[in-house]
Structure 1
Amino acid sequence: MTEILFDNARWGQDAPVLSILTPFKGDDPTPLLAALGREPLARPGQAELLVLDDGSGDPALAARVEAAVADLSLPARFIRLDANEGRSKGRNRLVRHARGQWLLFLDSDMLPDRPDFIATWLDLIAKDQPAVAFGGFSLDQAPANPDNALHRAIADGSDCQPAAVRARMPEKIFTSNLLVRRDVFAAETFDEAFTGWGWEDVEWGMRVAARWPILHVDNTATHLGLDTAETLTAKYEQSIGNFLKITARHPDLMARYGSLKIAKLLRRAPLLQRFKPLLKAYVLARTPPVRSRAFALRLYRAALYAEAMA
């Protein structure tokens, strides 16, 4: 794997408190970089930004990202890979380049919901020195359109929750907006056996929650990258192997998750192989109500898992 590094003029400053880590593949992270660069910090050099192009293979996009990194007021490094290495390996690579004692994993399709987003994380670090904290995410700034209506319904119904609700299942975190102390990550990195899409962040959360408290706070960022129904079904299809891994490793914790509960019920359903494509067709149809399509999508995911568990 070949790395191409670009550091902006401020990178040579002293090591910061916080390293913001943003991987991308094909998505354009420059709106996020611009938003982070607009936030004034109380002390220069408190935070740095590291951006990873995980094998996008798009020279024009790389040039835009490099220009954005060059203009940032934050110390910043742009890491460009010549081939894709995946979500877990890419994030582990970013950590190896980071210099801060706290690491903020922030996805490239996120946008902070408040003008003092970085400062809020720095205040939390100064006050509590948390081992792990999850800021949550919202859809507040995400444009609504028919193409992403299904994903919006899914996220609104399960993922966009206030901290008090999220804290009931503290291990259920996402790398979209996740703060981790460096020593914690040194002890528990992302498992690179998880490839493709899904579950690697929750599995990490399950391991970490057994050793350290996971704090849930309300410092959200908007998830701008809402998917089409076609992309969502494809991602769920890619997640089967990771689901089997996490279920085998953490059976007691996974027993609380609806996806496993429904999958176990569907294993006993007759004609599952015929039922599954009908569910997918309903999900992809544009005319049924979005809520019923969202319900069908959850069933489709569970049917995929049930078939793999059989």
Structure 2
Amino acid sequence: MSASAHIHDNAGWPMASPVLSVLIPFLRDDPGVLLALLEREALALDGAVELVLLDDGTADPALTARLTAQIDALALPTRLITLTANEGRSIGRNRLASAARGGSLLFLDSDMRPDHDRFLQTWARLTTEQAPAVAFGGFSLLQAPQEARFAVHRSMAAKSDCLSHERRALQPEKYVFTSNLLVRRDVFETEAFDPGFSGWGWEDVEWAMRVSRRFAVVHLDNTATHMGLDTVEALAAKYEQSAPNFARVVARHPDFVAAYPSYRVAKKLKTVPGLKAVRPLFKRAAHMTALPVPLRAFSLRLYRAALYAEAI
């Protein structure tokens, strides 16, 4: 059963004719800082870009009131959709796309921060001049927190996520995440996110696998910083959630997944006797602050692979 929704539009929304819709889902986060950064480009954009935000069931009246006041002060045409209950990542993104009016959709998580002040202008220009089916701008860690508790995640993200656009283009479907992701509307209407995925992980990569079989996936250098680094415990919990999703991807796209290191390691670990008993040791090592960060990161990767080995 779908959650009920309250919709709030600012004064710029009704008359705008955007070419690009920026879609920002959030849950128990405050996207106010991101809105302020995007607003810096409002004058240069002159109505070509709109913002659509989805509060996926936070149920925080104070946050809603703050955001409503901020949105009313924005020059960027903006809509806020507030849900009474959580619907999940895939359904939420599909709902955002239904509310958008632009010919292209830019998915941008609330914990992202543009790395330069022509971020939206770059996307709008690409949309107008080339209208790619799918394009990913890339992640960085330029503005990410430096606290020691995030050191393992920072190390892992730098190695596997924050890659150059040339490197990402070598496996275009693999390096597609629903943050800083541009999708042309007709492509999204052809291939929406699968609501069968639950919890965290892999629904964006699985979507990209499907799309890449029919459309070109472009990679460019228009990065934003992923501010939401996790502790080891939080990241391990996400990996635990993601194991069934990984198995779902393996079943659907064995040809793509066969080239992924995470799959190859999981297949090897599957043959290890007593893996289930050994697996907690990988997680424990990742928690040990006395160990070098690269070793802790390697241990957490092994923990993830061991989870995946049991799922496939």
Q: Deviations over 1:115-136 (max 9, x none)?
A: 0101101111122111110000
Rounded to whole Å, the distance in 2 between the matches of 1:299 and 1:54 is 32
Q: Quote the residue 1:246 is aligned against.
A: 249
1:158 aligns with 2:160: yes
Among 189, 205, 219, the residue aligned to 1:202: 205
User: How do 1:103-142 residues align onto structure 2 when only pairs under 5 Å count?
Assistant: 103-142=105-144
Return the TM-score normalized by structure 1: 0.98
Cα distance change on mapping 1:155 and 1:287 into 2, 3 Å: same
1:255 corresponds in structure 2 to: 258
Q: Does 1:143 align with 2:145?
A: yes
Q: Secondary structure at the match of 1:239?
A: helix
Q: In structure 2, what is the Cα distance between the partners aligned to 1:160 and 1:276?
A: 27
Letter in 2 for 1:166: R
Cα pair distance change 1:40/1:9, threshold 3 Å = closer
Q: Give matches, 1:67-78, under 5 Å.
A: 67-78=69-80
Q: CA deviation at 1:57?
A: 2.0
**Could you list the runs of 5+ residues in structure 2 that have no partner in the other structure?**
none
Matched, 1:188 2:191: yes
CA deviations on 1:259-302 (whole Å, 9 max, x unpaired) are 11000000001110111011111112222111101000110000
Give 2:273's match in structure 1, choosing from 270, 273, 296.
Answer: 270
Shift in Å at residue 99 of structure 1? Answer: 0.5
For 1:151 and 1:107, locate their aligned partners in 2 and report how far apart those are by CA, in whole Å: 18
Q: TM-score, normalised by structure 2?
A: 0.97
1:7 aligns with 2:6: no
Moved more, 58-67 or 243-252: 58-67
Distance in 1 (alpha carbons) for counterparts of 2:43 and 2:185: 22
Contact 1:132–1:179 at 8 Å: present in 2 too? Answer: yes
Aligned residue type for 2:245: N
What are the Cα deviations for residues 196-228 of structure 1, in whole angstroms up to 9, with x where unaligned? 100000000000000010000000000011111
2:85 is matched with 83
Partner of 1:49: 51
What amino acid is the match of 1:51?
L
The aligned length equals 309
Give the CA deviation at 1:41: 4.3
Aligned to 2:66: 64
* Mapped partners of 1:300, 1:60: distance in 2: 39
Separation in 2, partners of 1:151, 1:17: 36
Identity %: 58
2:140 alignment partner AA: S
Flag structure 1 segments of 5+ consecutive residues without an equivalent. none
1:145-176 deviation digits (Å, cap 9, x = unpaired): 11111110010011001100000001020011
CA contact (8 A) 1:41 1:119 kept: no
Aligned partners of 2:63, 2:233: CA distance in 1, in Å? Answer: 24
Structure 1 residue 70 displacement after superposition: 1.5
Say if 2:192 is the partner of 1:225: no
Distance 1:229 1:189 in 2: 32
> In 1, distance between residues paired with 2:45 and 2:138?
26
Equivalent position amino acid for 1:121 in 2: W
The offset of 1:43, in angstroms, is 4.6
